[in-house]
Each structure stands twice: as structure tokens, then as C-alpha cells.
Amino acid sequence: MTRRIFVDTEWTATPWSDESELMWIGLADEEGRVWSAISADVDFDDNPGVWKYISPDDPRSTSDEIAAGIIAFCGGVDEFWAWIPTLEDFAAWFDVSDDAPDLYARSRDVDLRMMRSLVDAWPDGWPDTLRDLNTAAVAAGVQIPPWEANQIAPDVHADWNRRLFELILRSRRG
């Protein structure tokens, strides 16, 4: 059986920036388990959009602790999946136009790059690519469900990704 992990991340800067670091990660699997971690190594004051979903009591983890959590949660993963916006949506979200194709190409797999930046020795057999839920849903003719109010929270978004994948599978079984 294929083991799929659904990923979402939030970062300290735009995803194409060399200064961009992982701020918060959320992972979900097909069994409905969800795992997330908030970085203790970054300053959240510069990102009020994310900060409103994090309470001062939420535990923070070091990069090493997050890496260990990723490895433990993902185990024998076969596929990583994430919601990847279209080029047009990306250009609108980040208010870029002329540079959008180049920036998009450099940012498209940011969720996987953020995980790889933490996990020093990428486990043998783990995928080197990120599969696109947006494209898969459109190809399957699936109605994209509305985002939840706190969709920016990576654990919420990773679980939303998992549920979208279930809709894609159901549409194929028809």
C-alpha cells in the first residue's frame, strides 16, 4: 500500500528568498493522523498573519526536534502531496507579475524544500518530488472544498489536503 503524507508549511520570508526559514509545519497521513511543530528558532513578530493562530502557550521545537518529528511521522513515505497554487494565483498572492514564472519555478516545491532543509540525511527511499493536489483535483474534476477560516495554520491545511485527496480518490472510483 502506498504511504502518502500531506504537507503544508509557513515561512519567515517569501518562499524564493534565501532568508526564508521554516516557521511552522503541518503533516497529515491517510489514516487521519496530524502532526505539527512550531519553530523555536525564528521570530514570529514579522508575520502577524500566522501569529494570530499561535498562542504563547503552544510549544516550540528546535530544528533538530522538528527534523526528528518529521522522520518519525513520515516513516516509510512513498509520496509527498501539497496544495500548489497555479501560476496565476501565485502571481496574485505575492503581487508579482513580470518575475512570476521564475519565482514560481523556484518556489513551487517550497514545502518539500523546507522539510529537506531540516532533515540532514534524507532517508533512502523518500521521494525527492512533491505531488500537486491542485492539479490532481482539477484533472479528476473534483470540486475544491472551501478553505477553513484558519487554513493558514499548517496542521489545518495538511488535514484539508488529506481530505481533498480522499475526494480525488472517490471520484476515480466513481
pLDDT of 102-124, one tens digit each? 988 988 999 999 999 999 899 99
Q: Which CATH number fits domain 4-173: 3.40.50.800, 3.40.190.10, 3.30.420.10, 3.40.50.2000?
A: 3.30.420.10
The pLDDT value given to residue 50 = 63
What mean pLDDT comes out for the span 66-76? 96
Domain ranges of the chain: 4-173
Cell 496574485 locates to 92
The pLDDT value given to residue 46 = 57
CB 10 within 8 A of CB 159: no
Task: Using CB atoms within 10 Å of the CB of residue 116, give its burial: 0 to 12 exposed, 13 to 18 middle, 19+ buried.
Answer: middle
The pLDDT value given to residue 17 = 84
| pLDDT per residue as tens digits for the range 141-163 | 998 888 877 777 888 999 999 99
The pLDDT value given to residue 47 = 57
The secondary structure of 21-72 as a DSSP string is -EEEEEEEETTS-EEEEEBSSS-GGG-HHHHTT--TTS--B-HHHHHHHHHH
